[in-house]
Amino acid sequence: MQRSGLLPALVVGGGMITEEVVLPTLLQEQKRGRVGDIAVASRRAATIARLRQAFPGAHFRGYPDDKDPEASHPEAYKQALAAFAPAPGAVVVATPDHLHTPVILAALAAGHHCVVQKPLCLKTAEAHQIAATAHRLGAYVYTDYHKRHDRAIRAARYRYRRGDLGQMLHGHAWIEERREMPLRWFARWCERSSPFEYIGVHYADAYYFITGLRPRRVMAFGQKKLLPTLGKDAFDAVQAVIEWEDGSVLWIQTAWVLSEHQSALTSQGLQLLGTEGEYWADHKNRNLLFVTQSGGFEHYNPNFFKTYDDWNDPGRVEYVGYGYDSLVQGLDDIREIISATAGLAPAAALDKRREMIAALEPLRPLPSQALIGTAIGEAVRLSIAHGSAWVGFGDDCTPRANE
What is the set of domains in the chain, with CATH numbers? 7-146+312-365 (3.40.50.720), 151-302 (3.30.360.10)
Going by C-beta distance under 8 Å and a sequence separation of 6 or more, which residues neighbour residue 298? 263, 264, 289, 290, 291, 292
Q: Which pTM does this prediction carry?
A: 0.96
**pLDDT tens-digit map of 140-188:** 999 999 999 999 999 999 999 999 999 999 999 999 999 999 999 999 9
Going by C-beta distance under 8 Å and a sequence separation of 6 or more, which residues neighbour residue 210? 153, 156, 157, 160, 272
Separation of alpha carbons 210 and 206, rounded Å: 6
Structural element, H or E, at residue 339:
helix 322-341
The whole-number pLDDT of residue 1 equals: 43
CA 142-144-148 angle, 5° bins: 110
**pLDDT tens-digit map of 321-371:** 999 999 999 999 999 999 999 999 999 999 999 999 999 999 999 999 999
Q: Given a cut of 70, is residue 209 above it in pLDDT?
A: yes
**pLDDT tens-digit map of 250-281:** 999 999 999 999 999 999 999 999 999 999 99
Nearest to 179 by CA among 160, 195, 156, 166: 195
Separation of alpha carbons 250 and 322, rounded Å: 24
Mean pLDDT of the 120-135 span: 98
Q: Given a cut of 60, is residue 403 above it in pLDDT?
A: no
Q: Given a cut of 60, is residue 385 above it in pLDDT?
A: yes
Amino acid at 169: L
Residue 100's φ and ψ, nearest 5 degrees, are -60, -45
